[in-house]
Amino acid sequence: MRIFGDVAPAIYQDLVIIGSRVPNTLPEARVVWYALSTFARQTRLDLSHIPQPAEVGHESWDGDAWKERSGANVWSIMSVDAERGLVFLPIGLAS
């Protein structure tokens, strides 16, 4: 899995937020938060998951289209709204 893509990380307080920019055909897209002070991983957002049967959102896929798709990825520079504590992730759609 490729975690460190060619998209610059975002910094917010004690966090570094790292997106993975991978080709749309690969299923390994993640956004990971690390604490700068300890280098410990804080959380991970899986962008590559396509809802499977019986999962929320699966019904939005036409027929068996969900079987032939890869997930989204971070395709550009992330930005942080420090006042509101938000990070904006420019993600693409599943392909």
Residue 93 within any structural domain of the chain? no
Question: Is residue 24 over pLDDT 90?
Answer: no
Please give the pLDDT value at position 85: 92
Residue 72 within any structural domain of the chain? yes
Range of the domain at 83: 10-88
Residue 45 within any structural domain of the chain? yes
Residue 4 within any structural domain of the chain? no
Quick one: average pLDDT of 31-43? 87
Question: For the stretch 19-34, what's the b/e string if a residue is b when 16 or more beta carbons lie within 10 angstroms of its beta carbon?
Answer: bbebebeebebbbbbb
Residue 46 within any structural domain of the chain? yes
Cα dihedral 8/75/4/83 (nearest 10): 50
Query: Which residue in 86, 70, 87 sits closest to 25, CA to CA?
Result: 70
Helix (H, G, I), strand (E, B) or coil at 66: helix
Number of domains making up the chain: 1
The pTM of the whole model exceeds 0.85: no
Rg (CA), the chain: 15
Residue 1 within any structural domain of the chain? no
Residue 44 within any structural domain of the chain? yes
Please give the pLDDT value at position 1: 39
Residue 39 within any structural domain of the chain? yes
To the nearest whole number, what is the mean pLDDT of the chain?
A: 80
